[in-house]
Amino acid sequence: MFWSSRKTEELSFRYENVYIHPTAEIGVDVELGPFTYIGPNCRVGDASRLHNNVTLVGNTSLGEGNEVFPGAVLGAIPQDKKYQGEETWVQIGNRNVIRECVTVNSGTLQGGGVTQIGSRNLLMASCHIAHDCVLGDDITMANNVLLGGHVRVESHASFGGLAAVHHFVTVGQYAFVGGLARVTQDVPPFMLVEGNPVRIWSMNKVGLKRSGVSPLTLKALKEAHRILFRSRMPRKEGVEALLEVHGEVPEVRALVDFMASTEAGNQGRSRQP
């Protein structure tokens, strides 16, 4: 259920010192702090809480149960010289925590027009999500993580503070990107990467265990890391040997498919045009 500020004066009564555009929609049980700005065609889902001084612009849609902290700006126009004022969007799912001064830019026509963030993500203070990024669910980004345009982050990935990700990079599911990392190529799922330039160090053992991955799967992924990223075996032979032993493990299949997609891409990025 949404209140339309065009049709009722109750919003003005409930939210003192808040600006809500007539075309905006506000769900039920929503808390809006002082000096929050809700721009044209924005939407805030039920049971969400926007602290003071939050800004929503650019056709931004928030799902249910989100919490947005002071200084966040969601939906500002892309920082891209190709953008010429086209109508684009930001779509954010449910139960995300978006901390202080996070910025999320809207999409561009070249990237499909939409920046998307899934559900149950934690974006810590001062993170930046650039235009046309696509984030899955249950992602954790520590303070000051920067995502360039067109980045894709699969579900359950995690980032240490101050990591910077090059545009068009894909970060695989359950991957961990260490703090201060400079990420210019795709990050394989289930792996831990660190450094400048980034390097694959190990599988993400801690993250996988916390997520309840079985010991059998952990063993298979450890072997996959050894064969694919540590041995001197040619890639084709390594993949064949790995699949012969662990081909029935879905996570191993996902890793092999991800690597094949990256190698078929441009400059180590499967999504790079």
Q: Spot the catalytic one: 27, 149, 172, 238.
A: 149
Q: How many helices (H) and strands (E) does the chain have?
A: 5, 28
Rounded to an integer, what is the distance from CA 170 to the centroid of its chain?
10
What type of residue sits at position 226? R
Q: Spot the catalytic one: 45, 58, 107, 131.
A: 131
Active-site residue 131, yes or no?
yes
Q: Is 57 helix (H, G, I), strand (E, B) or coil?
A: coil
Q: Spot the catalytic one: 132, 150, 167, 172.
A: 132
CB-CB contact of 106 with 115 (8 Å): yes
CA 175 to CA 187: how far, in whole Å?
7
Active-site residue 46, yes or no?
no
Helix (H), strand (E) at residue 67:
strand 67-68
Residue 235: count other Cβ atoms within 10 Å of its Cβ. Answer: 12
- Residue 265, C-beta contacts closer than 8 angstroms, at least 6 positions apart: 186, 271, 272
CA 187 to CA 185: how far, in whole Å?
6
Active-site residue 107, yes or no?
no
For helices 215-225 and 235-246, angle between their N-to-C axes, nearest 10 degrees: 160
CA 48 to CA 28: how far, in whole Å?
9
Cα end-to-end distance, the chain, whole Å:
41
Torsions phi, psi for 2 (to 5 deg): -125, 140
Residues belonging to the active site: 131-132, 149
